[in-house]
A and B are shown apart, each in its own frame.
Chain A
Amino acid sequence: MIPVWVLTGFLGSGKTTLLGRCLKHPAFARTAVIINEFGEIGLDHDLIETSEESFVTLRTGCLCCRVRDDLLLTLEDLLRRRVEGVLAPFERIIIETSGLADPGPILMALMTDQDIAGRIALAGVVTTVDAVHALATLDRHGEAIRQIAVADRLVVTKTDLVAAPGEQLTARLAALNPAAVVIAAAFGAVDAEELFAGRGGKQAADVERWLASTPAASQPAQPHQAIASVALVRETPMRAVALTLLLECLAEHCGSDLLRLKGLIQIAECPDRPAVVHGVGHVIEPPAWLERWPSADRRSRLVLIGRKLQAAWVEALATALEAEVAEVLAAGQA
């Protein structure tokens, strides 16, 4: 499957500069790019030097509002032309959203669309954060908050304009998305290969890193923002059916408020291999097995990021479901 990366970030936060830098890297020669520009006249694509034909600009509106019409059909077309040999066999797709886009609908479409399922895999979300203006932007624009909350990697840009990202911004980012890896970039300079490395959220190392950077305790929402993170940790293995029920309940009762979910779970039926779970909004992918545990830490760890999430409720839900499953199994054995 071809990994798809979503590059997002608020207006002027340096997405295009970052993308331009990355595309100059030899490792990105086989990359298809979809750029979404908001407005009648697109400029961003002119700012990126590339001779690749697999470069598409969408100017019909904000991508998150026109996922079906624009993005999915464009992806379908790219994949078809790749198969027909019209395009070079690209090995990666990067979608740059408009600065005003809510990435949620885009991510859910990538995860669920039947026509492209099996051919692409959502690899991750990279969000650019302007070191100079981000704090003010976050106070005024909910889109900027959602772009940060769903990120796997946060690239703090324009660090050349400030002495350092600043404690206030660092704390704000940690409160919004404690699980994201934070990378500082000056003039869009980052390790491009590292930034877009991996083939998806199901990579053991990727999930482990996401979870490792998350505080053990849940982070309540700050007064100025409604987004919080909730961490559920289990020392003992969980039954497979309890995990399924837990994910269903989370999707059903937190769905519209759940921005991102990721976890490594130790399953009682097969404790030597972790199950990875991954979700955006109410769309939760079927759990899948990984080959091995990425570290000695075999605890089950589930991190949720979203609005109005309550750690006590998630804990109570998991406890009640595990107790019920244990009771049913015990009754069956009696």
Chain B
Amino acid sequence: MMAAVPDSVAELLAASLPLWGVSGVVVRDAAGGVEVTAGAVRFSIVRAPANLPFRWLLVSAERRRGVTGVAGLLRAVRTAVDPDFRPLRVRVAALPPSP
């Protein structure tokens, strides 16, 4: 059985739609995943199986898409629900692990 989507991720997604100005709902499904509905867009988010190089899967009627972490998940969800969103290509340089 796949692990459930953590509460922290579900709460983040629920808080994200208002921030993006998107009308929609984020609800838990019976299997521990999360369902996102925004207008005509509807998809589920589930934990990816351990044999895939992803942490999350976005599953809609049309496709399945894997993402590797919370940052990628946010980007993928916003891309799906916010037609005006353009992902930022600039990345913040990582902090050196020691001074």
A interface residues with partner B (beta carbon < 8 Å): 240-241, 243-245, 247-249, 251-255, 267, 269-270, 273, 275, 282-284, 286-289, 308, 310, 312-313, 316-317, 319-321, 323-324
Structural contact, A253 and B12, CB atoms closer than 8 A:
no
Interface residues of B in 59-99 (CB under 8 A from A): 69-71, 74-75, 78, 87-88, 90-99
On whether A244 and B70 interact (CB within 8 A), knowing A313-B15, A320-B12, the answer reads no
A-B contact sample (13 more), CB < 8 A, given A244-B93, A252-B88, A313-B15: A240-B95, A245-B71, A251-B90, A251-B92, A253-B16, A253-B78, A254-B19, A267-B95, A273-B99, A288-B95, A316-B11, A324-B9, A324-B55
Structural contact, B95 and A313, CB atoms closer than 8 A:
no
Cα distance A241–B97 when bound, in Å?
A: 9
- B19 neighbours in A (Cβ, 8 Å): 253-254, 308, 310, 313
Structural contact, B94 and A241, CB atoms closer than 8 A:
yes
- B70 neighbours in A (Cβ, 8 Å): 245, 249, 317, 320-321, 324
- A324 neighbours in B (Cβ, 8 Å): 9, 55, 69-70
10 closest A-B pairs by beta carbon, nearest first, are: A286-B93, A289-B99, A316-B12, A320-B8, A252-B88, A287-B95, A313-B15, A320-B12, A240-B95, A247-B92
Cα distance A288–B91 when bound, in Å?
A: 15
B interface residues with partner A (beta carbon < 8 Å): 6, 8-9, 11-12, 15-16, 18-20, 55, 69-71, 74-75, 78, 87-88, 90-99
On whether A251 and B88 interact (CB within 8 A), knowing A319-B8, A324-B69, the answer reads yes
Residue in contact with B98 in the complex, picked from A270, A316, A321, CB distance below 8 Å = A270
Structural contact, A244 and B98, CB atoms closer than 8 A:
no
Task: List 26 A-B pairs, Cβ < 8 Å.
Answer: A240-B95, A240-B97, A244-B92, A245-B69, A248-B88, A252-B87, A253-B20, A253-B74, A267-B95, A270-B98, A275-B95, A282-B90, A283-B90, A287-B92, A287-B93, A287-B95, A308-B19, A310-B19, A312-B15, A313-B12, A313-B15, A316-B15, A320-B12, A320-B70, A324-B55, A324-B70
Nearest residue, chain A, Cβ from B89: A252
On whether A320 and B92 interact (CB within 8 A), knowing A249-B74, A253-B20, the answer reads no
CB of B96, distance to nearest CB on chain A (Å): 7
